[in-house]
Chain A
Amino acid sequence: MTQYVIRRVLAIIPVLFGISVLVFGLVHLIPGDVAQILLGTQATDQQLATLRRTFGLDRPLPIQYVDWLSHVLVGDFGVSFRTDRPVLPDLVQRFGVTLQLTLVSMLIALAVAIPLGAASAANRGKLSDGLSRVIALLGLSIPNFWLGTLLILFVSLVLHWLPPVGFVSLLDNPWLGIQTLILPALALGTAVAAFIMRMVRSSLLEVLRQDYIRTAHAKGLREFTVLYRHALKNAFIPVLTVIGVQVGYLLGGAVIIESIFSLPGMGRFLLDSISNRDYSIVQGGVLFIALIFCLVNLSVDLVYGWLDPRIRYE
């Protein structure tokens, strides 16, 4: 197992390097001169040159990259061009909101997807199976930003059941927090629930054909016990990989959902920074999300290797 962990961790290093190059390259290719944007059209050449020197923007790009990366490696993501505040604390604070949204979305998705997917597989070919498959396909097809708008319209504005926008941290006030997060989490988690449901169904159908399941049936075990204690446990291994990939979808989708529900998370922060040409925040934020996504996938790989020893020896 140790060798497997080392192999996986080493494999992620070139990817992380590639991510850093891509993020830096993308951000520095964005059209528009930061100094000009910050100082306005009235600024003199002298003022522009001074500002560029202050932020190190007058140096060649490879030097800027090495300088930026060496600071990032020690946790220094630079300062915002606009507010002069350090980027990392702001990113961490905003990420707290996105993390809460992502976690609640994933919990909702799992709570819906696992029982529905299991029931669908257990009743393969029956009406309930067909119905579950159609619901899953609808869930995959509904745009999350449209679902969010509809939820605000009907649940908040028409029925007045939940607040339409705003955010209260779950850590400060769990009851109020869940009220502000439930609609965005539903909008964000629906497609994920549908995806996981389909995966649980197909994976469970594979497992239900195995000999040991037939043995369990032959021993006279109840259907529920066979399904949930024997089959689902093994069917869950490929589902785990899908869950890892879906974390990326949730982090990306949060960009849109946060702007609809006015949540002060990472996504909205990034969108605002793109329009403000705040390079440091865009650079740090995109890198931060990509790192989190990589680490989640690495963790999934490690758990996968732990659950299924065959993977470790491939």
Chain B
Amino acid sequence: MLRIECPWCGVRDETEFRYRGDASRSPPAATASLAEFCAQTYTRENPRGWHLEWWLHVGGCRKLLKVVRHTDTHEIHAVGHPHEALAVPMETRAP
């Protein structure tokens, strides 16, 4: 079970959060093409490695968090506000 350190509430169990998907893509501009919208909505990298993702703290402060998580080891490198630029480690595998 993941334990996520919410910047507002402290360390909380995964069961308090709702996963909201890949946070690495910003929504397309209103003027973007249909192809760009399709890519943004459906195409995912599915990496084995570091992954930037959204978690909504529905069982707590109801704030949206941006999380850098390793999909293999589940290590969480950083948790931040939705518009914080979080550094994603370069290596594909956690140590």
State whether these chains interact: no
